Structure 1
Amino acid sequence: MGFELARATEAAALAAGRYVGLGLPQQADEEASTSLLKELGWLPCQGYVIGHGHREREVQNPDNPELWVGTGSGPEMDVVYAAVDGTNLLAQGRPGAVSVICATPRDQMWLPRSALNMQKIVVDRRVAKALVPECLDAPPGWVLALVARELDKDISDLVVWVLDRPRHTNLVSQIRLAGARAQIRIDGDIAGALLAGNPDSRVDVLMGVGGAVEGLLAAAGVKAMGGAMVTRLAPRDEEERRMVLDEGHDLQTIQALDDLVKTNDIYFAATGITDGELIRGVTFTGRLAKTHSLILGEGGVKRFVQSEHPMRGGRSIAMQDSHTVRAADPEAVSVPRL
């Protein structure tokens, strides 16, 4: 199923890639979402969307047909996606915008309906055993000393990924006071978490508050790579706080990866829209487009896939033409379509 999910993120990236640098984040996200959901219509499962990257205090209603994806046959799955993670990065032509999706068996992912933000710390597998819940309340300098010890590095060599938000002003000051280097980004905390959870990247840890849906997607990807993450709900205002409490959630509870994603049966895919440290972005060269994707899951395997898409009228020929193939032959599951 990982490759099927990658076809969806490829479609989203190809659609959003036409908007890079144009200053139109909403239009890019809408086009990417439409393309991604069309692809998910052919996912061989009964899929239910429990969260997506552009929700705003929506109520998830299981009777809403727009929340169901897939062919309607096969296993029951929960699906979470961000058609564009890093809309501002895309709009400004900056690195790091990606399209991301994950799926697990039904009821194996945790996402409060009204929560929009989470406090997070993410590390890779080399530090995973040392990342305990107490880290979330500890001074940043103490956490960084722990990470440095596990990585056998000086604190001055650590790179800490942080979202550029006013709420992180004190956090960034403490990171720098400890001697570590803050890598500050305006957007894209799923990509940031994947970098922190990947032992091959230059990022050692992610710290701070980001989106809840983005946190769940990050948790799936980080768990599939063997990393670790601790989180806690972080309402951004009194209304969100009240709604989260009304759902029965404790704002003091600290959760680890197994609390967010209960299963190891994880299917995860991400496709670059703009070039990033982890995945290259979409390139258009006349009648050909190239995409680069990361696929995780299936026994802990990590795959990097480069795909070439012949284009016609600005759109992938394969994704246009294979609608006809699907209609004629429902078993032709290896053929991509739009």
Structure 2
Amino acid sequence: MTRQRYDLREGSGRVGAPWVEPVSSGTARGGDHALALDLVRVTEAAAIAAGRWVGHGADRAGEVAAAEAVREYLGCVPMRGVVVLGDEPPAGSPVLPRGIGVGDGTGPECDVGIAAGEATLSAARDVPHAITAIAVTERGGMYSPQPETSMQKLAVGAACAGVVDIRMPVAENVRAIADATGSARADVTVAVLDRPRHRRLVQDVREAGARVHLLEGGEIAGAVAAAHPDSPIDVLLGTGSGADGVLAAAALSCLGGSLQAVLRPEGAGSPESTDHAVDRVLRTEDLVRGDRILFCATGVTGNELLRGVGRCPECTTTDSTVMCSDPATVRSIRSEHRPAVTA
């Protein structure tokens, strides 16, 4: 896998030539490379729009701003995309409804998953988003659960992909991870979304001898961090959004990690209870398929994967990650966005 670090410095509304520090040679600069860099500019714009609302206590205002930025910037991306997973902000009609076409009408046909409002919390918690994220697969390659469907998840990196099972008790998975990584159980770190529904899960993790890392933001960042070599997280466990699970699966597919999931309908008789996949274990390849998978994310507030949007008098900074499955490549991008200079 190729890993790169980019430092993109923007001025006068134009993007200059990137400074590139390759960690290994052989980087391919095909269509996926160009499309990925177009998409990361979309997540950057969305993160900056959402970041303006951090600290203001305006419930979900940042989510709406991010979704509007995604809609605007996606229109310039060279692809013929269809939104399979989208956000529906609470401001009248959906900004990014499922089924809408995105892109400039050229380029590849693809499925698009969007998390402009990932990690939405209450205004009192003051963390409107953890990240903005976009995943892209070949057309027909992205699983689309019902919007209200919850998903129980287990996410790990490549070293543990073959030794864990979402159907096993927490203690058995902790033991398997410790054996696979050569660690003591006390050193295994389990990421769990900090929600009341996970109190029993947190207790089970601690009784298994592992340590708990509570996620204040969202699951996507936590799931991807479980497969990232620079992260202390070994596994993500818990129940959350089905759409977030699919986006996380796209990233894990690029990283060689694994996501196992079980759909959990909200109640008997709910529309999602008729989904044929309920109670069946879904794996990474069930959620995202195809040879060309892309994942881009930009931090809004600091989280387990990325730094948040930074502001100073001269510029706004963003921290992003870009992942491609073919060739298997992970890029870190630090950007400075400077206001346009007028004559």
Query: Among 316, 322, 327, which residue is 1:295 paired with?
Result: 322
Deviation at residue 95 of structure 1 after TM alignment: 10
Query: Residue 124 and residue 8 in structure 1: after superposition, are their counterparts in 2 closer, same or farther (change >3 A)?
Result: same
Query: Among 136, 154, 167, which residue is 2:166 paired with?
Result: 136
Aligned to 1:230, what secondary structure does the other structure show?
strand
* 8 Å contact kept, 1:148–1:158: yes
Name 2:131's counterpart in structure 1: 98
Name 1:214's counterpart in structure 2: 244
Deviation at residue 94 of structure 1 after TM alignment: 5.0
Name 1:309's counterpart in structure 2: 337
* 8 Å contact kept, 2:67–2:87: no
Deviation at residue 278 of structure 1 after TM alignment: 1.9
Name 1:261's counterpart in structure 2: 288
Matches within 5 A, 1:1-338: 1-54=35-88, 67-88=100-121, 92-94=125-127, 97-131=130-164, 135-240=165-270, 243-247=271-275, 249-297=276-324, 298-311=326-339, 317=340
- Cα distance in 1 for partners of 2:157, 2:254 equals 11
1:28-79 CA distance string (max 9 Å, x none): 00001101111100111111001124479xxx9xxx8971100112221110
- Cα distance in 1 for partners of 2:98, 2:127 equals 35
Query: Residue 22 and residue 53 in structure 1: after superposition, are their counterparts in 2 closer, same or farther (change >3 A)?
Result: same
Query: Residue 88 and residue 245 in structure 1: after superposition, are their counterparts in 2 closer, same or farther (change >3 A)?
Result: closer
Q: Report the aligned-residue RMSD.
A: 2.3
Relative to the length of structure 2, the TM-score reads 0.82
Aligned to 1:85, what secondary structure does the other structure show?
coil
Unaligned 5+ runs, structure 2 = 1-34
1:209-262 CA distance string (max 9 Å, x none): 11011000000001111101111101123343xx12434x14221011011111
- Cα distance in 1 for partners of 2:82, 2:269 equals 27
- Cα distance in 2 for partners of 1:125, 1:145 equals 16
Deviation at residue 167 of structure 1 after TM alignment: 2.3
- Cα distance in 1 for partners of 2:98, 2:285 equals 29
* 8 Å contact kept, 1:15–1:35: yes
Which amino acid is 1:28 matched to? G
Query: Residue 146 and residue 283 in structure 1: after superposition, are their counterparts in 2 closer, same or farther (change >3 A)?
Result: same
Aligned residues: 302
Deviates more, 1:69-78 or 1:118-127: 69-78
Deviation at residue 117 of structure 1 after TM alignment: 1.1
- Cα distance in 2 for partners of 1:120, 1:83 equals 21
Aligned to 1:258, what secondary structure does the other structure show?
helix
Deviates more, 1:99-108 or 1:65-74: 65-74
* 8 Å contact kept, 2:147–2:242: no
- Structure that is richer in helix per residue: 1
Query: Residue 93 and residue 263 in structure 1: after superposition, are their counterparts in 2 closer, same or farther (change >3 A)?
Result: same
Query: Residue 90 and residue 75 in structure 1: after superposition, are their counterparts in 2 closer, same or farther (change >3 A)?
Result: farther
Query: Residue 120 and residue 257 in structure 1: after superposition, are their counterparts in 2 closer, same or farther (change >3 A)?
Result: same
* 8 Å contact kept, 1:20–1:92: no
Aligned to 2:48, what secondary structure does the other structure show?
helix
- Cα distance in 2 for partners of 1:55, 1:27 equals 9
- Cα distance in 1 for partners of 2:128, 2:175 equals 29
Identity %: 35
Query: Residue 250 and residue 102 in structure 1: after superposition, are their counterparts in 2 closer, same or farther (change >3 A)?
Result: closer
